[in-house]
Structure formats: structure tokens, C-alpha cells
Structure 1
Amino acid sequence: MKVMGTWDSGPFDNDTAADWCGDLHDAAPEARAGMVRQALQSAAESADYLDASEGCEAMAATAIVAAECCGGPPVTSVYAPDFLVEGGRVGLSDDLVPLALRALDRVLGEGSELRQLWEEADGGRSLLAEAEPLRAALLRGAAG
């Protein structure tokens, strides 16, 4: 069973993340880091119920930070921005690593619609399996 608007459990494998990645690809290179920061802040700083769309964007942004700043899983999804799949970079600063960790915790925590949807679909196993390597990379990046 899959969550509506998704085709797999990866951070780029849903309609919202794919649309956000398209916007990131189309953005001027100097605007891209701000877009990643905004997606992370929207999730990390949300005090209310976290909408699934914000969670999807935050997961994609977290995957980008983990890959670029922490040596995490490479961005290889066909739904990710082409410039990243081709080996390009956003030009992120390491100060995004703790923000990405907070955003990931928020997406996986109570009060997150994305978590709730995956809980209903498969007990949350798929979402957690995708998040674990991102978290591990971010923790390495934050430590060192």
C-alpha cells in the first residue's frame, strides 16, 4: 500500500517533492540555498500540525543537505533536480546540518501528517527506512 501521490518511499518519490525539486532546478543558482533553508525551516519551526506537503519538501531538502554537506546517500532519483543528479551542488553551508536534523525530527515526530500517512500505509517502516541513512549522515556531519 502506498500513500496517495507517491510512487515509492524515497525523499523525492512523491508529487510534492518532485514539484519542489522542479522549482529548485528552475531557480537561479544563487536562490537555491535559500529554497533549501526555507523548506527546512518550515518544518523545523512549525508548532502546529505539520502538513504532509511541508513534510515532503523537508524530506527532499534534508536528503540534499545530507548528500552535499555530510557525505550522505547521493542524490540519484530521477525526480530530484537534474543538476544534482548530474553531480552539481546547491552550495549549501554546514550550518544547515542542525536545521536539517530538526526538520527530520519534526517530519518523523508526533503531529506530522506525513508520518501519520506512512503509519497508516505500512506502520511507518518505509519512511523510517528512508530517514535512517539521512539521519546517520546528518549526525556525522553535526559531530565533525
Structure 2
Amino acid sequence: MGRWDTGVFDSDSVLDWVGDLCDSGLAKGIAETIVNLEKGLADGYMEMDDCEISVALAQIVAILHGKPRPRDLPEELADLLDSDRHRSSRNELGRSLHFLEKALGGNAEINEDGVWDSPESLAAWRSHGLTLQKYLKSLQESESPKRGCLWF
């Protein structure tokens, strides 16, 4: 396994994905990632790499919506975010939240016994995801059209 710590960007699969994202640009890279994650979820189970990429995608979408950048953001990704003028859509926000919730859910390889060296490591990794989940949900709620009754 190519995971060396509990941070969002602490795995080979995520860093490979970041490289691909930098090569294709944010709009195309995010769109392709959403399609690939959807295909990976066809059977309802999320593989390890997809779990890790889902959290990284959520981190990027959160940054695009104003969340401060984490200290461990890879330099090439920081450069891309500085130079690419992509504005994340409500659809990207919703899809990234969906995949993040799948990664944090029970039917995901990353949550299985034996994947982590300790329960504390899994809890530390999950804490990043849970923080992102809370942030993205608050954005989704604030960006939702308000419905109500108008009194005349």
C-alpha cells in the first residue's frame, strides 16, 4: 500500500491523481474524476484508491469554495490552484460530498480491518474527511435555493 501517513495527500494514489489533475487542468480533471468515481461505485463498494481520491477531491472543491489551504497541500497543486481560473459548480460540490460520504461510510475498503496500522490512524484519517464533510454540507446548505412562502 502506498500510504505513509494519515493526511489527505499522504498516499501514492492521491499524488498520482494530483499529477493527472495538474496535467489536465481543474475543470477537465475534476469532471473526469467524478466520472471515474461513479464507475468505481457501480457495485456499491468503494476501493481504497477511490476512497483516498474522494477525500482529496473534496479538499480541492472545498478550497475552490473558499476553505483555507492545508499546510500539506502539494506544491504543484497549489500552483495549479493559483493559475487555473476554474470556478467549482454546485454539481461538483454535491458530487464531491457524495463521494466523500461513500469513502467515510461502511462499504469502503479504507475502513476495513487490517488496512491501517492502528485504530488511531484510521480515526486521524477520518477526521480530515469529517471536517471536509461538515464544511461541504454547510456550503451546500448555504447555496441551496431558499424556499418559502411570500406574504403579500
The TM tier, using the shorter chain, reads 0.7 to 0.9
> Structure 2 length as normaliser, TM-score?
0.75
Mapping 1:1-144, distance limit 5 Å: 4-28=1-25, 30-42=27-39, 45-69=41-65, 71-74=66-69, 76=71, 77-78=73-74, 81-84=77-80, 86=82, 88-116=84-112, 120-123=116-119, 124-144=122-142
**Deviation (angstroms), 1:38:** 2.8
Distance 1:122 1:79, change over 3 A: farther
| Structure of higher CA gyration radius | 2
Deviations 1:73-115 (A, max 9, x none): 4255126624346474543212222222211111011121112
- Contact map agreement 2:46 2:109 (CA 8 A) in 1: yes
Give the AA of the match of 1:135: Q
Q: Distance in 2 between matches of 1:9 and 1:42?
A: 26
**Deviation (angstroms), 1:141:** 0.7
Give the aligned length.
Answer: 139
Q: Which ranges in structure 1 are unaligned for 5 or more consecutive residues? A: none
Give the AA of the match of 2:139: G
Identity among equivalent positions (%) equals: 23
- Contact map agreement 1:64 1:75 (CA 8 A) in 2: no
Deviations 1:48-80 (A, max 9, x none): 3311011111111111111112x3342551266
CA RMSD of aligned residues (A): 2.6
Q: Which ranges in structure 2 are unaligned for 5 or more consecutive residues? A: 143-152
- Greater CA drift, 78-87 or 59-68: 78-87
